[in-house]
Structure 1
Amino acid sequence: MAYEKNRIITIANQKGGVGKTTTAINLATALAAIGERVLIVDLDPQGNASTGLGIERKNRKLSSYDLLIGTHTVDETAVETAVPNLSIIPSTLDLLGLEMEISQKTDRAFRLKNALASPEALGYSYVLVDCPPSFNLLTMNAMAAAHSILVPLQCEFFALEGLSQLLETISQVRRSLNPTLDIQGIVLTMFDSRNNLAQQVVSDVRTHLGEKVYHTLIPRNVRVSEAPSYGKPAILYDLKCAGSQAYLQLASEVIQRERQRKAA
């Protein structure tokens, strides 16, 4: 069976504040650190992934908006970061107007997929797409382009309720846009071992979704929260902190799952 040259993983959850961008930045950095060539596509108009990797707004001459509009290519929009092997297509507020501009186009949900089919995009081992915290045309593009979805899930009371909505959305995308879309895995974030509720959420999610849930738990960690304000991934800001170590462990799990998938 032939496999794609790159692996496109969309990081999505319709709920905000669950660690999507933090996961995108630090997972990408960890993958790059072990020699993988990685591209982040920032599809959130807020542009937090771009800021968190030190790409200042004034330096975002081209962005994911230009890629989706079709005026520029992956090579033209991608910017190298301070992390070797890691590039990002940054986001700007222009993305807010994208839906209105392309809503009547027949390929409106496949703009990202078409852009990432280019030879230069195939040169990356992994493409991670950071989504906005809502289901809109940007998220549809991300899911239509992806081979799989990675879902960050906060260890809190309403986690399972939000997850069931997201799983239904993924089912809809499979039916209408991307029949081979798979769930890469669920990563539990902001875990506090002293909190009984967090322990219960972990237990419930593992009971419901079994092997789809990564073994790695991403802890609630001050150093991880501080890192974006310095324009650095936590792994560069403080490699030894518990959060950075957890993301390195998560990267190891992601690669292990990819090996198993290819061997299947």
Structure 2
Amino acid sequence: MAGKVITVAQQKGGSGKTTLAAHLALGFLAEGKRVGLVDLDPQGSLGRWYVTRLEADAAACEGLDFATSSAWGISMEVRKMAGTCDVVIIDTPPKVDSDLRPALRVAHLVLVPIAVGHMDLWATEGVMDLAAREDKPLLLVMNRTRAGTRLGAEVAEAAKALGAPLAKAMLAQRVGYAEAMGRGRGAVEAKGPARDEVTALVAEVAERLKAG
């Protein structure tokens, strides 16, 4: 059976797409899944993370495949990876245009991270529109949340009003996520609340993939 494909997309930069993609990959890896990562972003942040991880500890990349791709080549790359991986995760550039559509087209689920800010929320509508045109299921994920803040509560309520499913699991604003990424690791690889957050999100995403 071919693996399931998750495309992580958001029009605005700084929403945490790469961090979300990497941590989802590690979450699925921890559950014994073989995971493929595809970096579609010319900035190559996901690729740098993977190389850093590989150079630090090659064994940490067992079960974790990586490739880069252009928009026009994504269909072929995903088809190849999905033949050997249980889950394929695509990290996309921070824009919404024709280059994003091929990555949406191959997805079984589109994840849209929303950092706690109204600008991220406004940028989400463009991704939602493209996903709807491709008839792809979509899940909004609150990222870099700050518990107990008025802004966080406002953005969460506004996200619910967008008309797309909002994940119950959220990733909080934690220094640990950024620090781990810089070392080629993931906050999910240590005990603590970050691991619980990622584990909950992986379970929720897995259920949606199964339902789809």
Question: How far apart in 2 are the matches of 1:202 and 1:190?
Answer: 12
Give how far 1:199 is off.
1.0
Give the TM-score taking structure 2 as reference length.
Answer: 0.87
Q: Which moved more, 1:194-203 or 1:15-24?
A: 194-203
Whether the aligned pair in 2 keeps the contact of 1:53 and 1:231 (CA below 8 Å) is yes
Q: What code does the residue aligned with 1:112 have?
A: I
Listed as ranges, the gaps of 5+ residues in structure 2 are none
Q: What code does the residue aligned with 2:10 have?
A: N
2:170 alignment partner in structure 1: 217
Question: How far apart in 1 are the matches of 2:41 and 2:59?
Answer: 18
Q: What code does the residue aligned with 2:109 have?
A: S
Cα distance per residue 1:53-87 (max 9 Å; x no partner): 34489x8xxxxxxxxxxxxxxxxxxxx77243222
Give how far 1:181 is off.
2.4
Q: 1:13 aligns with which of 10, 13, 19?
A: 10
Question: How far apart in 1 are the matches of 2:78 and 2:46?
Answer: 19
- DSSP-derived class of the 1:208 partner: coil
Question: How far apart in 1 are the matches of 2:48 and 2:192?
Answer: 21
Listed as ranges, the gaps of 5+ residues in structure 1 are 60-79, 99-108, 175-179
Whether the aligned pair in 2 keeps the contact of 1:218 and 1:247 (CA below 8 Å) is yes
1:259 alignment partner in structure 2: 210
1:241 alignment partner in structure 2: 192
Write out aligned runs for 1:72-111 (5 A): 82-89=60-67, 91=68, 110-111=72-73
1:74 alignment partner in structure 2: none
Whether the aligned pair in 2 keeps the contact of 1:53 and 1:228 (CA below 8 Å) is no
- DSSP-derived class of the 1:14 partner: coil
2:77 alignment partner in structure 1: 115
Question: How far apart in 2 are the matches of 1:182 and 1:33?
Answer: 25
Give how far 1:203 is off.
1.7
C-alpha spacing 1:112/1:250, structure 2 compared with 1 (3 Å): same
Give how far 1:40 is off.
0.5
Write out aligned runs for 1:92-171 (5 A): 110-118=72-80, 121-136=82-97, 138-171=99-132
Give the TM-score taking structure 1 as reference length.
Answer: 0.71
Give how far 1:198 is off.
0.7
1:63 alignment partner in structure 2: none
2:34 alignment partner in structure 1: 37
Question: How far apart in 1 are the matches of 2:184 and 2:35?
Answer: 18
Whether the aligned pair in 2 keeps the contact of 1:206 and 1:213 (CA below 8 Å) is yes
Whether the aligned pair in 2 keeps the contact of 1:219 and 1:242 (CA below 8 Å) is no
Aligned length: 210
Cα distance per residue 1:133-162 (max 9 Å; x no partner): 113554233122222211111121223311
Question: How far apart in 2 are the matches of 1:191 and 1:56?
Answer: 26
Q: What code does the residue aligned with 2:137 have?
A: D
Question: How far apart in 2 are the matches of 1:56 and 1:34?
Answer: 19
C-alpha spacing 1:136/1:206, structure 2 compared with 1 (3 Å): closer
Question: How far apart in 2 are the matches of 1:45 and 1:56?
Answer: 19
CA RMSD of aligned residues (A): 2.4
Q: What code does the residue aligned with 2:78 have?
A: L
1:106 alignment partner in structure 2: none
Write out aligned runs for 1:48-87 (5 A): 48-55=45-52, 82-87=60-65
